[in-house]
Structure 1
Amino acid sequence: MKFAVLFCFILFIVFQTDCAQNEQSSRKQKRKMSQRRPRKSSSSNNRSSRQFGIQQSTVTPEARLPIVDSDYSVEEKFESFLSFHGVESSYNVLPGKRGHCLVKGMTMYNKAVWSPEPCTTCLCSDGKVLCDKTVCHSQTCPYTITLEGECCPVCSDNAMYSLLSGRTLNDRTEFSGDSSEQREPTNILHKQVPHPQVEMDQVFRKVALQSEEEDEEEMKDKEHKRETPGRNKLHREGESRAERKLRPGEEERSAHQPLYHGRGEENDKENEKDAKEEEEEEEDAMRGDIFRMPSGFPIPTPSRGRPRLPSSCSLSYRTISCIYAGLTQIPPMTAPDVISLDLIGNSIMSIPEETFNGLPNLERLDLSKNNITSSGIGPEAFKFLKKLMRLNMDGNNLAHIPSELPSTLEELKINDNNLQAIEEESLSDLNQLVTLELEGNNLSEINVSPLAFKHLKNLLYLRLGKNKFRIIPQGLPASIEELYLENNQIEEITENCFNHTRKINMIVLRYNKIEESRIAPLAWINQENLESIDLSYNKLYQVPSYLPKSLLHLVLMGNQIERIPGYVFGHMEPGLEYLYLSFNRLADDGVDRVSFYGAYHSLRELFLDHNDLKSIPPGIPEMKALYFLRLNNNKIRNILPEQICNVEEDEDSTLEHLHLENNYIKTREISSYAFSCIRLYSSIVLKPQNIK
């Protein structure tokens, strides 16, 4: 009894000691992990901050400006001329919604993050599109490979092999007994193993199953190979079949297969032949000068769910890409997982019915720059694409909008075609449509039905430029926010043009034939959300009156404007912020002190360059919010001390950019107080000047 109690006491002490050690080791491990975590999080934060050009106070990363990738913005970059601090602006800008970004026809809200293409991430930051590519860490191994679906390369030898099979090449070398002198370089693996064309999670699942099955087969093969030479040796020594004992492998075989005693010699010869072939195969597998995939490594084969594609097409990121592939017809495809299909720049002329039946989950289809005609499209060619949201048919030969389009469409582009008409039923089923682009066709108020846009209850963005409209199209949807009618033949704006479009925010009417006398007083003055109007390159002789009360951005470049009427901006609330009057005919007598009345407290950018001004226009010192002023390419001869800066209020000035080059100014005669309100003298451009 005492012995039992003593034994239990010893066990209790041992158990308590083990628990204490385990607890102590777990505490150490937790302490190590807690020490690692801040380092890891800070590095990830640094990476994200560098990715979007954001500096942090706690970290001092390598300084660099954000990358503004013009590929992901559009012709009209909806941002003010402010851009980055100290970076000057250009002309071809019409600011739009505050903070929103327009990317390939789609409106991205402020702080939105998206990936326009693999390994690239973009951010909408206060109206600017900032893009950056994934930063990859350098690899120390001599040979690398970039797997399908990955952005950064990985090692092609040991790392790749261990990733997929859980082994290393050293394991196989030690097993085979090869010396280092006999082995070929490890990049043979990179040359002969094709890239897996499936997602990585599927690869790992398949590899795990294959490696388990192949390991079992490998063990059986090894046992079989060990037994075969022994049997052949017994045959050569003349041991009879009756005298020798059956080995375990033979017992197993004899249980399933009968022995044919009548053909013993032939069987012996066949066994010897099989044994020699197996020995040769085993030697080939172990030789270093002949590459053979290890049994544990999965040999990539075409996936059972992978569609058969033409050689000029590719599949990645659930996208089939056949761009400029020389196709004359759409190849048959069966790929339920694919959501995007690119067929840009081919010679496709028709779309038969049932063409897309094998792509039931398609969300995006790009058929731009082909030769597709309206007669070549089957009546139900698109009908069964129940998830299609974006359809691009730019640059084809369509005369009519295709019928039976999916009701799920949110974006439809048929620019640069040969559209001859839009009937009431043409768009009747597209009540989810947000973006509609029909530029570069033969549309006019004659062949576009007033009820054509009646059913587009969610339409926000409409492009009808490069057509033949002489008036604003009738029947615009009430939901519309942005309207583009540039490069038409519009001559007037009537009172009822925008009666039902109370949400409209932007109107682009450049390159038309509009005169200020043909703009009706009540055309848009009562609009509450209209912030941007572009009337560049029309036939205006003065700044139009009766502009919208809510207007913030007014672009009037390239007209024949000679006068800015007094109080023309006085009724605006909260007030005009951006006024661009470049390339006009403004002279000194066309601008007076009351011309900018109502905008003194709000105007941030004023462009008066490329006009006929001989002096600084009055009212500049009263503009308390002015940030950017252009007066270059005029006929200005001198600058008086208080024409730009108010000496008494220098500290409150916001002016940071001033252009006065290409005038007739004698720079040595400029007063030292002329630019006293400008904080950075480097932002004042005075050279070159013209010589009389």
Structure 2
Amino acid sequence: MLRSLFPWAIIFLMQLPPSFQENCTYETSWIDKEMIVTCENITSLDFFKEDITFNNSVSEIVCLDCNLVYLTDNIFPVSITILRLANCNISQISNSVFTDLALLEELILTSNHINLFPEIFKKLMSLRTLHLAHNHLHSLEYNYFTGLDQLEYLFLEGNNLSSIDAEPFRILKSLKYLYLDENNIAELDKNAFRGLTELTILSLSHNEIVTLSGETFNDLTLLESLYLDNNYLLSLPRELFYNQASLTYLDLSGNDLQLDETLFEGLNNLLVLYLKNNSISHLKNGTFQYVPSLTLLDLDENLIKSIDSCAFQNLTHLRRLHLENNFVEYINEDTFSDLVKLEILYLQNNSLDCLHNNTFAGLDSLEELHLENNNITYGEPVICKNESSNENIDIQLKQDLFGIEDMKKVLLEDENIVTENADGDALSECGNK
């Protein structure tokens, strides 16, 4: 199929081998006359050698589901800026296959069988994006990346890396995004990320990391997003985030962490904190004192049974709080008093049996309150859930029980708010616990 074809391009098409015409298409930009070549199910790229004039016009090569196996020397046009060879069964690469590609800006080698060797990319002085995800990489050496002074994006997820030694990325002074997800990384040298002073996103999720040195992220002063979810972390050193004043997003979900009051020291600008599915059993006073800018806090699926009255103190910017799927039995009257901007509060699937009159007082921004699947009883007022409809709890319940006039939704499925016990005596308000 030919799209946006110039007459002179048709002449070159007639000169190309039949395999090109059958399995490849190309389109031409009307602005700069550069060509994008797309091939499927081919076994060789040698036809690019057959017409130098044609080659000088090619800016992008895309091979989809090909069977190339071996990349030989001098097969790519020197004019290309983007080379995509995903899922092409590549297992061997010539030492000098990329030697003449000084203009290349993006190289995608995802889902092949590639192992790297020193200085393979050393001539790619313009390269900004390198995809090596889902290959057979077992280790990283600093000289693998020699010459990549302009590299900003490096994708290494889904390989067989078991450790990151000291300074494998030290040459990559311009690197901003580093993805190491879905490997088998169990050990990180304390200098693994040394020199990455421009890094803004680091993903280490879905690995086997048990411990981290307090110096691991020392050089990452511009880091904005850090993904450490789904590892085996038991604890984190107090000084781990001392230099991460720029961090706004932190995911620690799916580990085995307990929380310490000093854990988040240095994270004054953190906006989003995921702590879902850990081993947190108690939220102490001051736990979140160093993250006053939080807008989202997720503590879903932990073992939380008790919450100190000042656990959420000073979280005046928090808009969404997840406490569902825990074992919370009791909430102090002033636990949420500082959460003046809270919009959604998730407390479903806990063990609550009692609520204070003022538990939610002052939460004037609250729009949704989820209390499903608890065992809440309350002495007054006399208001029960309407079992015959799915309508929201009426406004009187919102005002009298929760002290909130403008709340849009209160969910209390499977609750039975009562005013009398089995003997017909009025239930009293919650006492202090």
The reply to whether TM is greater than 0.5 is yes
* 1:613 corresponds to 2:324: no
Q: CA deviation at 1:688?
A: 5.3
- Measure, in 1, the Cα distance between the counterparts of 2:57 and 2:261: 55
* Residue among 484, 498, 505 paired with 2:217: 498
Any gaps of 5 or more consecutive residues in structure 2? Answer: 29-34, 49-53, 378-382, 386-392, 418-433
* Residue among 362, 365, 390 paired with 1:654: 365
Partner of 1:197: 3
Q: What is the identity, as a one-letter code, of the residue corresponding to 1:563?
A: H
Q: CA deviation at 1:411?
A: 0.6
* Residue among 348, 363, 380 paired with 2:96: 380
Answer whether contact 1:441 1:467 (CA < 8 A) is retained. Answer: yes
Larger relative contact order (Cα-Cα within 8 Å, sequence gap ≥ 6):
2
- Measure, in 1, the Cα distance between the counterparts of 2:43 and 2:135: 19
* 1:668 corresponds to 2:384: yes
Closer, same or farther: CA 690–612 of 1 in aligned 2, 3 Å: farther
- Measure, in 1, the Cα distance between the counterparts of 2:313 and 2:329: 21
* 1:413 corresponds to 2:128: no
Closer, same or farther: CA 506–656 of 1 in aligned 2, 3 Å: same
Q: CA deviation at 1:638?
A: 4.6
Closer, same or farther: CA 480–678 of 1 in aligned 2, 3 Å: farther
* 1:456 corresponds to 2:172: yes
- Measure, in 1, the Cα distance between the counterparts of 2:345 and 2:43: 55
- Measure, in 2, the Cα distance between the counterparts of 1:602 and 1:498: 27
* 1:597 corresponds to 2:313: yes
Answer whether contact 1:424 1:449 (CA < 8 A) is retained. Answer: no
Q: CA deviation at 1:431?
A: 0.6
- Measure, in 2, the Cα distance between the counterparts of 1:688 and 1:563: 26
Closer, same or farther: CA 662–454 of 1 in aligned 2, 3 Å: same
- Report the RMSD for the aligned CA atoms in angstroms: 2.7
* 1:549 corresponds to 2:267: yes
Q: Deviations over 1:329-370 (max 9, x none)?
A: 2252344333222112222201111110xx232111111112
Q: Deviations over 1:634-670 (max 9, x none)?
A: 2333544321233xxx7xx211222222333477168
Answer whether contact 1:463 1:484 (CA < 8 A) is retained. Answer: yes
Partner of 2:300: 582
Partner of 1:488: 207
1:310-349 to structure 2, matched below 5 A, reads: 310-317=21-28, 318-322=35-39, 325-333=40-48, 334-349=54-69
DSSP-derived class of the 2:142 partner: coil
Closer, same or farther: CA 421–690 of 1 in aligned 2, 3 Å: farther
DSSP-derived class of the 1:493 partner: coil
Partner of 2:10: 302
- Measure, in 2, the Cα distance between the counterparts of 1:672 and 1:532: 33
- Measure, in 2, the Cα distance between the counterparts of 1:305 and 1:326: 19
Q: What is the identity, as a one-letter code, of the residue corresponding to 1:444?
A: S
Q: Deviations over 1:611-644 (max 9, x none)?
A: 1123446422431111221112223335443212
* Residue among 413, 418, 425 paired with 1:687: 413
TM-score by length of 1: 0.51
Closer, same or farther: CA 412–638 of 1 in aligned 2, 3 Å: same
Closer, same or farther: CA 534–626 of 1 in aligned 2, 3 Å: same
Q: CA deviation at 1:678?
A: 5.4
Closer, same or farther: CA 418–689 of 1 in aligned 2, 3 Å: farther
* Residue among 556, 561, 584 paired with 2:280: 561
Partner of 2:428: none
Answer whether contact 1:436 1:463 (CA < 8 A) is retained. Answer: yes
Q: CA deviation at 1:526?
A: 4.1
- Measure, in 2, the Cα distance between the counterparts of 1:436 and 1:307: 38
Partner of 1:438: 156
* 1:469 corresponds to 2:185: yes
Q: What is the identity, as a one-letter code, of the residue corresponding to 1:561?
A: I
Give the length in aligned residue pairs: 379
Closer, same or farther: CA 331–639 of 1 in aligned 2, 3 Å: farther
* Residue among 328, 337, 353 paired with 2:73: 353
Closer, same or farther: CA 627–303 of 1 in aligned 2, 3 Å: farther
Q: CA deviation at 1:606?
A: 0.6
- Measure, in 1, the Cα distance between the counterparts of 2:416 and 2:216: 46
* 1:534 corresponds to 2:251: yes
- Measure, in 1, the Cα distance between the counterparts of 2:67 and 2:13: 28
Partner of 1:570: 289
Q: CA deviation at 1:307?
A: 7.4
Q: What is the identity, as a one-letter code, of the residue corresponding to 2:10?
A: P
Closer, same or farther: CA 672–352 of 1 in aligned 2, 3 Å: closer
Partner of 1:370: 88
- Measure, in 2, the Cα distance between the counterparts of 1:656 and 1:615: 22
DSSP-derived class of the 1:602 partner: coil
Answer whether contact 1:663 1:690 (CA < 8 A) is retained. Answer: no
1:79-94 to structure 2, matched below 5 A, reads: none
Q: Deviations over 1:94-117 (max 9, x none)?
A: xxxxxxxxxxxxxxxxxxxxxxxx
DSSP-derived class of the 1:311 partner: helix
Answer whether contact 1:340 1:363 (CA < 8 A) is retained. Answer: yes
Q: CA deviation at 1:482?
A: 1.2
Closer, same or farther: CA 304–346 of 1 in aligned 2, 3 Å: closer
Answer whether contact 2:121 2:148 (CA < 8 A) is retained. Answer: no
Q: What is the identity, as a one-letter code, of the residue corresponding to 1:630?
A: Y
- Measure, in 2, the Cα distance between the counterparts of 1:306 and 1:583: 64
Answer whether contact 1:407 1:429 (CA < 8 A) is retained. Answer: yes
- Measure, in 2, the Cα distance between the counterparts of 1:611 and 1:433: 44
Answer whether contact 1:392 1:414 (CA < 8 A) is retained. Answer: yes
Closer, same or farther: CA 377–637 of 1 in aligned 2, 3 Å: same
DSSP-derived class of the 2:166 partner: coil
Any gaps of 5 or more consecutive residues in structure 1? Answer: 1-194, 207-300
Answer whether contact 2:148 2:172 (CA < 8 A) is retained. Answer: yes
Answer whether contact 1:621 1:644 (CA < 8 A) is retained. Answer: yes
DSSP-derived class of the 2:321 partner: strand
Q: What is the identity, as a one-letter code, of the residue corresponding to 1:349?
A: V
Q: Deviations over 1:156-205 (max 9, x none)?
A: xxxxxxxxxxxxxxxxxxxxxxxxxxxxxxxxxxxxxxx86335xx57xx
Answer whether contact 2:398 2:404 (CA < 8 A) is retained. Answer: no
Which of the two has greater helix per residue?
Answer: 1
DSSP-derived class of the 1:684 partner: strand
DSSP-derived class of the 2:293 partner: coil
DSSP-derived class of the 2:384 partner: helix
Q: Deviations over 1:527-557 (max 9, x none)?
A: 2212222111111133563313322221110
Partner of 1:404: 121
DSSP-derived class of the 1:302 partner: helix
Closer, same or farther: CA 612–343 of 1 in aligned 2, 3 Å: same
1:628-639 to structure 2, matched below 5 A, reads: 628-639=344-355
Q: CA deviation at 1:596?
A: 1.0
Answer whether contact 2:360 2:403 (CA < 8 A) is retained. Answer: no
* Residue among 230, 242, 246 paired with 1:525: 242
